[in-house]
Amino acid sequence: MNKTDWIEYFEAINSRKPSEEEISQALAAGEFSETVVVEAVEDTTSLEKSGSVEENEIVTPVDTATTVETNTEKSVVSESGVETKTAALKAKEKEVIEKLKENQMIADTAQVASNYLSWVLETVKRPMTKASGFNSLYTYLTLGIIVIFAALSTTLNLHAFYERTVVNTTFSEFSSFVGISATNPIGFGTFIALLFAVVIFIVTIVFATWVALKVLKSPLSFSNVVDKYTSLFVPAAVLIIIASILSLIRLNFLSYIIFILALLIISISLYYIILTTENNLKLDDFYAKLLALITSGAIMFVITFILTLIFTTIIFKAAFTL
């Protein structure tokens, strides 16, 4: 690469002309070379005087072999500098492309967050109407918010409840007297366990609803049921976030009430989806919907009972150690 090409590339990358100092540094680093064409001139001029060459005059031709070797060495040096510059330029281009991709990713994330917030506000106003600009990513965001904040609110409320009813009462003195140490087991481990419990609970609700719709011979798929719940769960998600904030500021009783309202909305969502689904059974609509509700209720009861039993057993064993 010669000096002109290097200057043009520098201006394309940095959007400015290089200074003399930068040009000197690039030349010293071998990023470009100032090639000088060396021409081999063979001087075979004979000094003829009076039509004859003097016998004592010896014509010395240019040593072409030496010239070729010199040019070869310069060519090797030039190619080495070009290769070094090419590697440096490729590294620079890769760095620029990575920065552009990172900036684009940040911009896309901010745009998705802004659109999601607008979609949530519109859905809170009209949960039964599918808001415009719906993105499948909103489903995961909504369910993720419910899972995290539901686990957080429950953990904080359980911790406060256990402190008031067990640790800071005469029961702790009695347990110490009989050789049992009563400690508050509600902590980070409880939060992690509740995360999994809430995920299983939500999956159970969707699954129970899907089974109920299959009882009615509805053509809706499992993903269709998830999309329906996404919109109906938005008001519940807002209430759960509020409940978590109230738990953080120690307003636990009010947090209980808000959390129960959120669970009520989730339950009503299940009934709403089933009752508004078209009945394709050769059975009266009342009995068909009743059968679907009983089926979903049985699934919910069994799964919820198992989760509650497991969770209560874990807490009880952690709380009382001999």
pLDDT tens-digit profile of 211-250? 999 999 988 888 888 888 888 899 999 999 999 999 999 8
Residue 39, Ramachandran bin (φ over 0: left; ψ between -120 and 50: alpha; else beta): beta
Q: Which pLDDT score, from 0 to 100, does residue 56 have?
A: 46
Mean pLDDT score across all residues of the chain = 77
pLDDT-derived band of residue 264, with 50, 70 and 90 as boundaries?
A: very high
- pTM, two decimals, is 0.60
* Predicted pLDDT at 59: 43
* Residue of 270, 261, 272, 273 lying closest to 301 (CA atoms): 270
Alpha carbons 308 and 303: distance in angstroms, whole number: 9
DSSP output for 48-72: EETTEE-TT-------HHHHHHHHH
Q: How many residues does the chain have?
A: 322
